[in-house]
Amino acid sequence: MEGIISQLFNGISLGSILLLIALGLAITFGLMNVINMAHGELIMIGAYATYVVQSLFIDYLPESMFNWYFILAVPAAFLTAALIGWLLEWTVIRHLYGRPLDSLLATFGAGLILQQAARSIFGAPNVGVQSPALLSGAVEIFSISFPKSRIFIILLVTACVLFMFYYFYKTSNGRRIRAVMQNRDMASSVGISTRQVDSTTFALGAGFAGIAGMALTLIGPIGPTLGTAYIIDAFMVVVVGGVGMLLGTVIAALGIGVFNTGFEYFTNASMGRVLLFAVIILFLQWRPNGLFNLSTRKLD
């Protein structure tokens, strides 16, 4: 029983990281019909931003302040990744609207460049980010221990997702995003600047990838290829969750996280992956368009 609960907890914490990564992917795919392979590198950028903030704290501030670096690291990771994402959108992606396969390949190229840049700046070997004392150790509830860092990650993701729901469904910007998603031409003709909606939304999704990168520094060492490990799983979340509805992404991310750790618990890491892939293929037999979808009668 305890084993199962802590596996479930691990599953949810993995799922919540996937969710943070997949949110940006799902929204930009729904909005602009582009798939961003460089999204993984935006995670990596967020992680290195955290590393830089931490190094600055170590170098310039008294030791007693060190614990608080991660509070500053969250906005730093968000802003750096959002800025690079915005640049990426402006230089590459805006040429590729409505060409998902091409955008996948072109952004893969952009990802290669970003990875190499990270290698040139920070060196190829992984670097470790020291967890703040505040988040090390575990909380024991009914003799089951929950690592504090993972609890923090879950809370962080919950906050981000709540913000996203609010932004998406309650603000005028969110309304514009949904309008463009449903019908770009119509939205444009009633005066929405689709260009601006696209670039801000893309930057926002990139920023969330950056926060995911910050969260990953709490789990293990980081390196230039950090994002690649997560990007395919995040894509699977988009495929399973469907496009255009936040709720689908949330359920799919948590589901994949829980199934993944569950399968790994009962078999082993590689068989777990095979089983997960099989389950996803079977799931798509039932819902080829994912859990939720903006239903239209449009063809092609």
Partner 1 sequence: MGLSKWIGTKQGIFIVLLVLLAVLPLILNDFHTNLLGRYLAFAILVIGLDLVWGYTGILSLGHGIFFGLGAYIMAIYVTTESSGGALPDFMMWSGMTELPFLWELLSNPVAAILLGILLPMAIASLLGFFTFRNRIKGVYFTILTQALVLVTVTLIVSQQRYTGGSDGLSGLSTMFGFSLSSPQTQLFLYFLTLVVLAAVFYFCFKLVNSRFGKVLIAIRDGENRLRFSGYNTAYYKMVVFTLSAGIAGLAGMLYVLQIRIITPTMIDIIPSIEMALWVAIGGRGTLLGPIFGAILANVGTTFFSENYPELWTYFIGLVFIVVIVFLPGGLMSIGNKLKRKRRGSDHEEAEQQAGSAADKHS
Residues that bind partner 1 (CB under 8 A): 29, 35, 92, 95-96, 98-102, 104-106, 108-113, 115-116, 119-120, 228, 232, 235-236, 238-239, 268-271, 273-274, 277, 280-281, 284-285, 288, 299-300
* CB of 216 closer than 8 Å to CB of 43: yes
Question: How does DSSP classify residue 130?
Answer: P
Cα angle value 231/17/227 (rounded, 5°): 30
Q: Looking at beta carbons only, is 172 or 296 nearer to partner 1?
A: 296
Smallest distance from partner 1 to CB 224, Å:
10
Q: Looking at beta carbons only, is 3 or 288 nearer to partner 1?
A: 288
Smallest distance from partner 1 to CB 266, Å:
16
Smallest distance from partner 1 to CB 42, Å:
15
Smallest distance from partner 1 to CB 53, Å:
26
Q: Of 280, 244, 255, whose CA–CA distance to 31 is shortest? A: 244
Q: Which helix (H) or strand (E) holds 26?
A: helix 2-32
Q: Read off φ and ψ for residue 282, nearest 5 degrees.
A: -65, -40
Length in residues, the chain:
300
Distances (CA, A) of 21 to 160, 165, 212, 222, 235: 11, 15, 6, 16, 9
Q: Looking at beta carbons only, is 132 or 205 nearer to partner 1?
A: 205
Q: Looking at beta carbons only, is 1 or 281 nearer to partner 1?
A: 281
C-alpha to C-alpha distance for 123 and 38, rounded to whole angstroms: 19
Question: How does DSSP classify residue 267?
Answer: S
Question: Six-digit token pair at 214?
Answer: 């910050």
Q: Looking at beta carbons only, is 285 or 295 nearer to partner 1?
A: 285
Burial class (CB within 10 angstroms; exposed 0-12, middle 13-18, buried 19+) of 190: exposed
Q: Looking at beta carbons only, is 203 or 236 nearer to partner 1?
A: 236
Q: Of 105, 110, 113, whose CA–CA distance to 34 is shortest? A: 105
Smallest distance from partner 1 to CB 105, Å:
5
How many CB atoms neighbour CB 105 within 10 A?
Answer: 12
Smallest distance from partner 1 to CB 96, Å:
7
What is the chain's Cα-based Rg? 19
C-alpha to C-alpha distance for 3 and 140, rounded to whole angstroms: 14
Q: Looking at beta carbons only, is 74 or 106 nearer to partner 1?
A: 106
Smallest distance from partner 1 to CB 73, Å:
28
Smallest distance from partner 1 to CB 16, Å:
21
C-alpha to C-alpha distance for 29 and 238, rounded to whole angstroms: 9
Q: Looking at beta carbons only, is 39 or 176 nearer to partner 1?
A: 39
